[in-house]
């Protein structure tokens, strides 16, 4: 288990001596090994009969993502850096992101062949790591750790889509699918003490005050993805933000009050979406005993899209935070005016600080991680569920694409909204307050929830 932050060790702007270069190689090797072990731990849980199955037209099979991880690592490190000939040229079209259409990615090598592909590529990559000019290349190496982490989160999403125990019609993206996501591991009873605390809290207690002032947004660290850079300062008015993500228990009020039937709470676009996709509860809040138990718990609601999140916010007299507000609430230290690497401080994410990396295997109660609180008192800012913001996904001023033009820039189309914070399946290398995710507003994503904000004191 990593407890220190390897990114911070690798991001100094001072001249790199031989010893620091060796430290960087070791940090990268450890990160690559830990990340790969997590990948193997996950794919060993996948039934081989599901390995090549397409769960939904928006997603490639799990086995394709496994091959794509190896392909991408070989492409950047072995072919472009080490100038080696392709180890497996027959895989280039199959596993390239712009190769085959998703619907044609089910004819894959067997599991053992893909494991061997991962291992063979990794062995050659580690051999090159010993002689690589690592101080010049480190950004792409850190990118590859995060690339594997992100694809593994996608594989976790696909696995949940394949885990159909009680099929019910739902909507993801533009299509209807049959899926239920409530599992035994996702259901926890609220402890009596947590219930008493929640019952005694006032509206003021349940929101955190963030004073007016400037804050640094984004990251210039060498591990940061292109859409996090360059960092910039912005002046924000004072605001209030929910201490916790909105829970199933909170969201049930909206459902019970007919929130899905009242146009007044919805944006025109959201109401039009609802008429075309008539739903009456979150994607994973189907009406069965397990879901009822989950809704009564204080797990964060998930499977809601941006339209649903904004409708709920209007219903309770609030709004979604901007992404700058969200990031300030997550990492800004009022006493110093500085930002922290993580809500709790400098330490790399652990299972004691937030719900990530499948440690719980589902969402967790929002009160479970008091040690992970941000300086202004917000809980669960990292892990558990991705959180919708009101901001559209676009490049920061001075944006430069990396490692290729289309990685983020293709989505600067004015049609995607930013989510922050990571989920229970996010790896620690892709878990930080500055990291940005993005989806269309109509996508009901398995790991997506939200919290609300307000420009006025809570009543």
Match 């292109």 to its residue by tokens: 226
Nearest alpha-carbon partner for 226 in 401, 441, 405: 401
pLDDT tens, position by position, 417-430? 999 999 999 999 99
Q: Which residues contact 360 (CB under 8 A, 6 or more apart)?
A: 185, 424
3-state secondary structure of 394: coil
Cis, peptide link before residue 230, omega less than 30° from 0: yes
Match 């401080």 to its residue by tokens: 345
Residue 180 CA to chain centroid, in angstroms?
A: 20
Burial of 144 (C-beta count, 10 Å sphere; 0-12/13-18/19+): buried
Instruction: Give the integer Cα–Cα distance in Å for 27 and 20.
Output: 10
Contact at 8 Å (CB) between 369 and 379?
yes
3-state secondary structure of 384: coil
- In the predicted model, residues of the chain with pLDDT beneath 50 are 1, 3, 8-18, 164-202, 287-289, 292-293, 295
Nearest alpha-carbon partner for 103 in 53, 171, 148, 32: 53
pLDDT tens, position by position, 108-154? 999 999 999 999 999 999 999 999 999 999 999 999 999 999 999 99
Instruction: Give the integer Cα–Cα distance in Å for 236 and 168.
Output: 43
**Which run of H or of E encompasses 309?**
helix 306-315
- What is the predicted pLDDT for the residue at 284? 67
189 φ, ψ (degrees, to nearest 5): -80, 145
Residue 307 has which token pair? 């339209």
What's the sign of the alpha-carbon dihedral 216, 221, 224, 229? positive
Match 């990291």 to its residue by tokens: 435
Nearest alpha-carbon partner for 23 in 34, 12, 38, 35: 12
Packing angle between helix 18-43 and helix 111-129, nearest 10 degrees?
A: 170
Give the chain's length: 459
Residue 152 CA to chain centroid, in angstroms?
A: 11
Instruction: Give the integer Cα–Cα distance in Å for 22 and 137.
Output: 14
SS3 track for 183-221: CHHHCCCCCHHHHHHHHHCCCCCCEEEECCEEEEECCCC
Contact at 8 Å (CB) between 181 and 358?
no
* Paired strand residues for 438: 418
**Which run of H or of E encompasses 147?**
helix 134-162
Residue 278 has which token pair? 């008539």
- What is the predicted pLDDT for the residue at 374? 98
Contact at 8 Å (CB) between 399 and 186?
no
Q: Which residues contact 153 (CB under 8 A, 6 or more apart)?
A: 423, 425, 426, 427, 430, 447
Residue 231 has which token pair? 């960092």
Q: Which residues contact 186 (CB under 8 A, 6 or more apart)?
A: 290, 294, 299, 361, 362, 363
Residue 175 CA to chain centroid, in angstroms?
A: 22
3-state secondary structure of 342: strand
């Amino acid at each position: 288990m990593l407890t220190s932050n390897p990114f911070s060790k690798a991001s100094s702007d001072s001249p790199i001596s031989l010893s620091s270069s060796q430290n960087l190689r070791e940090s990268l090797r450890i990160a690559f090994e830990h990340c790969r072990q997590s990948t193997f731990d996950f794919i060993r849980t996948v039934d081989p009969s599901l390995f090549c199955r397409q769960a939904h037209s928006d997603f490639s099979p799990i086995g394709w993502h496994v091959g794509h991880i190896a392909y991408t690592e070989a492409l950047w490190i072995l072919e472009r850096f080490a100038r080696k000939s392709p180890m497996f040229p027959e895989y280039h079209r199959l596993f390239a992101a712009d190769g085959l259409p998703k619907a044609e990615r089910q004819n894959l090598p067997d599991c053992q062949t893909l494991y061997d592909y991962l291992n063979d590529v990794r062995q050659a990559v580690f051999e090159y790591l010993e002689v690589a000019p690592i101080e010049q290349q480190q950004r792409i190496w850190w990118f590859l750790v995060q690339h594997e982490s992100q694809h593994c989160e996608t594989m976790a999403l696909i696995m949940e889509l394949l885990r159909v125990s009680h099929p019910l019609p739902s909507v993801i993206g533009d299509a209807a699918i049959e899926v239920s996501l409530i599992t035994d591991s996702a259901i926890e009873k609220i402890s009596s003490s947590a219930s008493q605390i929640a019952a005694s809290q006032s509206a003021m207690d349940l929101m955190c005050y963030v004073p007016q002032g400037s804050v640094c947004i984004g990251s210039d660290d060498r591990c940061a993805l292109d859409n996090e850079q360059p960092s910039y300062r912005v002046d924000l008015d004072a605001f209030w933000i929910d201490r916790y993500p909105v829970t199933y228990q909170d969201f049930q009020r909206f459902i019970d009050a007919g929130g899905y039937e009242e146009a007044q709470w919805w944006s025109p676009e959201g109401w039009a979406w609802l008429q075309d996709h008539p739903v009456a509860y979150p994607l994973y809040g189907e009406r069965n005993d397990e879901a009822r138990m989950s809704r009564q718990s204080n797990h964060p609601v998930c499977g809601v899209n941006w339209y649903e999140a904004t409708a709920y916010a209007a219903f309770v007299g609030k709004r979604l935070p901007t992404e700058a507000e969200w990031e300030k609430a997550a990492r800004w230290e009022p006493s110093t005016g500085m930002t922290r690497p993580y809500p709790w401080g400098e330490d790399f994410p652990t299972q004691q600080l937030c719900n990530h990396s499948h440690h719980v295997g589902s969402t967790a109660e929002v009160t479970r991680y008091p040690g992970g609180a941000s300086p202004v008192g917000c809980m669960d800012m990292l892990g558990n569920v991705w959180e919708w913001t009101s901001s559209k996904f676009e490049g920061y001023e001075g944006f430069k694409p990396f490692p290729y033009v289309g990685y983020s820039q293709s989505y600067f189309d004015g049609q995607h909204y930013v989510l922050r914070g990571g989920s229970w399946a996010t790896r620690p290398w892709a878990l930080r307050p500055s990291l940005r995710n993005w989806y269309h507003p109509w996508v009901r994503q398995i790991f997506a929830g939200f919290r609300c904000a307000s420009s006025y004191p809570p009543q």
